[in-house]
Amino acid sequence: MSDICMTFAMGVWVQWSDRLHDVSVKSAYLRVYEPTDSVTVAVAKLPASVFDGAGLVRSGPFGLQDEPMGEDAWIAQFDGREFVCPRRPRLRMLEGVLAFHRAYKDIGGDVLVPEKVAQRAAEELKKLLDAEPEQRAQVLTSLWHVPLRWFVAFSPEERELVETSHGTSVRYRTLQAEAAARIRASLEILAETDFGQAVTDDLEEYAEWIDGFEPDTLIELDYGSVSEMFSGAELVLDESAEDVWDALEGLAKDDWELATSAYARVSERWSHPMSVTFSN
């Protein structure tokens, strides 16, 4: 399932589950920040966002579990420069609705997103893009876990432990040029193995999304409130990017023992969060 479709589908799942239980939604983010000195005046003037993923709320006419709809931006300092990432929640929500409708229309997706709802979403999305043609989604959201493919863009040395409103959390940051090169290298490794098309298709989509940004943009993987699903000690010991790359390097060297043990480590670490994600 693509990242955009998954975000929408998990949002619907959370809404349904919330009718039965008091569910606190945990979310992780992959963000693209542009250098502040290269963005439009409209983006540069966006207020700094205070939304940190801790309080996803139900809003909007499409019945999604969603974040606040205000237009603001995340701000980051990296390597002596300031970067900005517009949140654009309305744009992302509409794109998710349409992506899910297109991908799953023939296998029951039209129950969750009827044709009339999809048409309305398309009309609203067109209005948004007509008003500001250059805008695009710069954030991917994953509920309850971090997709393992997200780690491919980062080096283990780029891992940071940070203190947030959730407590201790994990963050990775790198420039787009580095991220794109790593994802392409991983695809070359997988091309030499007999992995299923589903694995490479998702990674190809990830590569295409990252490739759509400039080399000097900042790519950030933020565990967000998903970090609350781990203890402080577990987060200190979390080396997911290293494990993912050890698995890929094992495949590249035809060292199946290394590849299997590394993948087992990272899979075990994320098995519980992923089981929550897909438990419905």
pLDDT in tens, 53-81: 654 544 444 444 456 777 889 999 999 99
Cα-based torsion angle of the residue sequence 171, 220, 148, 247 in order, rounded to the nearest 10 degrees: -80
pLDDT at 122: 74
What SS3 state is found at 168? Answer: strand
pLDDT at 252: 95
Residue-wise pLDDT for 80-104, tens only, equals 999 999 988 777 777 667 666 666 5
Residue 64's nearest CA partner among 140, 128, 13 is 13
| Average pLDDT of the residues in 158-171 | 91
| Average pLDDT of the residues in 201-218 | 94
| Average pLDDT of the residues in 247-255 | 96
* Token pair of 55 as six digits: 């309080």
pLDDT > 80? residue 147 = yes
| Average pLDDT of the residues in 98-114 | 64
Q: Residue 106: pLDDT band by 50, 70, 90 thresholds?
A: low
pLDDT at 63: 43
Q: Which of 61-70, 85-94, 123-132, 212-221 has the lowest mean pLDDT?
A: 61-70
More confident: 165 or 278: 165
pLDDT at 103: 63
pLDDT at 53: 61
pTM: 0.81
* Token pair of 72 as six digits: 């603001």
pLDDT at 26: 83
Burial of 74 (0-12, 13-18, 19+ CB in 10 A): buried
Q: Residue 112: pLDDT band by 50, 70, 90 thresholds?
A: low
Q: How far is CA 143 from the centre of its chain?
A: 9
Most confident of 3-17, 71-85, 106-120: 71-85
Q: Residue 130: pLDDT band by 50, 70, 90 thresholds?
A: low
Residues 33 and 52: their CA atoms lie apart, in Å, by 16
Q: Residue 119: pLDDT band by 50, 70, 90 thresholds?
A: confident
Q: What does the DSSP 8-state code read for residue 250?
A: H
List the domain boundaries for the chain. Answer: 3-277
